[in-house]
A and B are shown apart, each in its own frame.
Chain A
Amino acid sequence: MSLLATSSHQERIEQLPGHRAVLARDRPLRLSSGADLSPVTVAYQTYGRLNAAKTNAVLVCHALTGDQFAADTHPVTGKAGWWSLMVGSGKVLDSDRLFIICANVLGGCLGTTGPADLNPETGEPWGLDFPVVTMTDMVEAQRLLLDHLGIDKLLAVIGGSMGGMQVLEWAAKYPERVGAAIPLATAPHHTAQNIAFHEIGRQAIMADPDWQGGAYFRSGKKPRRGLAVARMTAHVTYLSEPALHRKFGRRLQDRKGLSFGFDADFQVESYLRHQGKSFVDRFDANSYLYITRAMDYFDLAADYGGKLAAAFTESPVRFCVASFTSDWLFPTAEAKRVVHALNAAAADVSFVEIDSDKGHDAFLLNEPELHATLHGFLSAQCERNGIPTAPLAPIDDTEIGETEERVT
């Protein structure tokens, strides 16, 4: 574990590698809730170089607990970035040709303004005084960043899960600024079941006495147990029964028989406990509350009179929608809602369903068919925009090993 984990939040943020832009200083960011936020700091990472015409920029939107470190060593965990299989030289998002931007979302805890940062009015961390943010607000913060970087039009915007929601929001709100939109393992709204799982996570955090009404920064004690339980619940929803079975089955952990107690007898229990524990070192409990809320509130059709197709009327954007057969959190039926709406708008859409038993997290893992289709789609997008293309480089076996554990 890095030294960063032992410092205060503000000190940690100051030490993070990568870029930070302070935005919305003159004109506050008006949030969906009506609240104004000023200034807004956005932390981001870039890979590759922006060409002179500024036509090769790709925005990568991260999932719930992801961050801007898509393809480089994570400063807190020391592990490879969450999308290092997809972003880099010779990969689907080829840093030799493209300029890849990944920003921490609004409400996050790794450098972009969020509830762990100082409220300029009080000089104390925001805690629950931080205004509730939405997917629209997250995209607005990203838009401010693009304005700051002088990028008028993205070659593509891509992301999975919550990142896919941002992709849909981008395409609907700013079609003239998006060449291609690639929403993966996502939905046009968060379903009742998804909201239910998030509520369990939030209740676990808020039931932890160390949460202290969100003001845990005062005592220095964090709601570690609550956040770990939230993580464990969510983690199960990202996997599939076949993947869990393959990995653990009903095998026992370091013992010959059952303990007839409540220790972690089974390997799967021990695994979940480990996932929960390691998560609290890199994520802020209040950020978890805010970001899950933003996902729950997401309902793209609602912003267009209840008609999803209206979000994409006359859209010039090329879409590539992808889902996975074993994803029960964002199943193919949800992706097809988007596809039907795009058909109804006569939009340029491709839709692939990838046969995978790895569950929701498949979009982060080594799925050669996904990589091949995205590479083909993006190559066509590059050709249309006069950007050179190259064949996909084979993935290094050692990288696959590292990413077996990858969960957003």
Chain B
Amino acid sequence: MSPLDSPALRAKQAGKRAGLQSGGQAGMRADLQLIADMIEPSSRVLDVGCGDGQLLHHLVERKSVTGRGLELSQEGVNAMVSNGLSVVQGDADTDLIDFPDRAFDYVVLSQTLQATRDPRFVLEQLVRIGRHAIVSFPNFGYWRIRLRLLFGGRMPVTESLPDRWFETPNIHLCTLLDFLELCRACDIVVERGLTLDKRGEAQSITGRPRANLFATDGLFLLRQG
């Protein structure tokens, strides 16, 4: 395991490569468990970029949620539908615009923001469609990434960010501070903020510069201002 890993992103990308194996709640990704804990039972949830459907499956089974998914990979979508989930093939950048205001209680975007073409637009759509949005992403301000860039002089290639700069789907990497600044600019209220360390353990964001240095991932509960 590379010291530069974001456990959440690594798990997500490994899941995508392996295709769909939905349903195993026992070992649910740390960030997905934290997201699930934020969601009220019996609410309406749209999971954008739902990957292998692990979160949706958990929410439907354990929290009686009315769940919908949007996923780029058709193969993944077909497999999720055959598992009984409601999922459509679609692209966060172009398809969120179709959904009406306040159609869902929560719109989840986990480990996907950095792969969108227009993160600002996507973020604004999330808080428009949902009463709340839950967003998680890898923190590019993590100290080991900074060190790699500082001493290696190259864009970090790690197990969790395995593609080189010219072939990676992660085109809009940011730090926690960058993200919070964008939220302010978009008049988005941060209701809760959590950071994950490299063991996948969560802490509330207190000292921001410190969090920005030591967190591998950020996880935020947001709403429209």
Instruction: Report which A residues bind B (CB closer than 8 A).
Output: 318, 320, 339-340, 343-346, 348-355, 369, 372-373, 375-377, 379-380, 383
Contact B86 A373 (CB under 8 A): no
**A352 in contact with B99 given A373-B82, A377-B82, A377-B84 (CB within 8 Å):** no
Cα–Cα distance between A349 and B85 once the two chains are bound (Å): 9
Within B62-103, the residues touching A (CB, 8 Å) are 66, 68, 74, 77-78, 81-90, 95, 98-100, 103
* B211, chain A: closest CB distance, angstroms: 35
Contact A354 B78 (CB under 8 A): yes
Interface of B is mostly: mixed
* B39, chain A: closest CB distance, angstroms: 17
Contact A346 B86 (CB under 8 A): no
Which of A349, A350, A375, A379 has the largest count of B CB atoms less than 10 A from its CB? A350
Contact A373 B95 (CB under 8 A): no
Contact B78 A320 (CB under 8 A): no
Cα–Cα distance between A383 and B82 once the two chains are bound (Å): 14
B220 at interface, CB cutoff 8 A: no
Contact A343 B74 (CB under 8 A): no
Query: What B residues does A369 contact at CB under 8 A?
Result: 78
Contact A318 B86 (CB under 8 A): yes
Contact B98 A344 (CB under 8 A): yes
**A373 in contact with B88 given A343-B98, A343-B99, A346-B99 (CB within 8 Å):** no
Cα–Cα distance between A377 and B89 once the two chains are bound (Å): 15
Query: What B residues does A320 contact at CB under 8 A?
Result: 81
Query: What A residues does B104 contact at CB under 8 A?
Result: 346
Cα–Cα distance between A351 and B98 once the two chains are bound (Å): 15
Within B43-74, the residues touching A (CB, 8 Å) are 66, 68, 74
Give the top 6 A-B pairs by smallest Cβ distance, nearest first: A380-B84, A376-B82, A346-B103, A351-B88, A343-B98, A350-B81
Given contacts A318-B86, A339-B88, 10 further A-B contacts (CB under 8 A): A339-B90, A343-B98, A348-B86, A351-B87, A352-B78, A372-B78, A373-B78, A376-B81, A379-B84, A380-B84
Query: What A residues does B90 contact at CB under 8 A?
Result: 339, 343, 351
* A311, chain B: closest CB distance, angstroms: 15
* B152, chain A: closest CB distance, angstroms: 41
Query: What B residues does A346 contact at CB under 8 A?
Result: 99-100, 103-104
Contact B100 A351 (CB under 8 A): no
Number of CB contacts from chain A to chain B under 8 A: 64
Query: What B residues does A354 contact at CB under 8 A?
Result: 78
Query: What B residues does A377 contact at CB under 8 A?
Result: 81-82, 84
Contact B84 A352 (CB under 8 A): no
* B61, chain A: closest CB distance, angstroms: 11
Query: What B residues does A348 contact at CB under 8 A?
Result: 66, 68, 86
Cα–Cα distance between A340 and B103 once the two chains are bound (Å): 14
Contact B86 A383 (CB under 8 A): no
* A179, chain B: closest CB distance, angstroms: 14
**A376 in contact with B74 given A344-B99, A344-B100 (CB within 8 Å):** no
* A10, chain B: closest CB distance, angstroms: 46
Closest to A376 in B: B82
Contact A376 B100 (CB under 8 A): no
* 29 residue pairs A–B, Cβ–Cβ below 8 Å: A340-B95, A340-B98, A343-B88, A343-B90, A343-B95, A343-B98, A343-B99, A344-B98, A346-B100, A346-B104, A348-B68, A350-B81, A350-B85, A350-B87, A351-B77, A351-B87, A351-B89, A351-B90, A352-B77, A352-B89, A353-B74, A353-B78, A353-B89, A373-B78, A375-B82, A376-B81, A376-B84, A379-B84, A380-B85
Query: What A residues does B82 contact at CB under 8 A?
Result: 372-373, 375-377
Which of A344, A345, A346, A375 has the largest count of B CB atoms less than 10 A from its CB? A346
**A373 in contact with B84 given A344-B100, A348-B68, A353-B89 (CB within 8 Å):** no
Cα–Cα distance between A340 and B95 once the two chains are bound (Å): 8
Contact A352 B74 (CB under 8 A): yes
* B98, chain A: closest CB distance, angstroms: 4
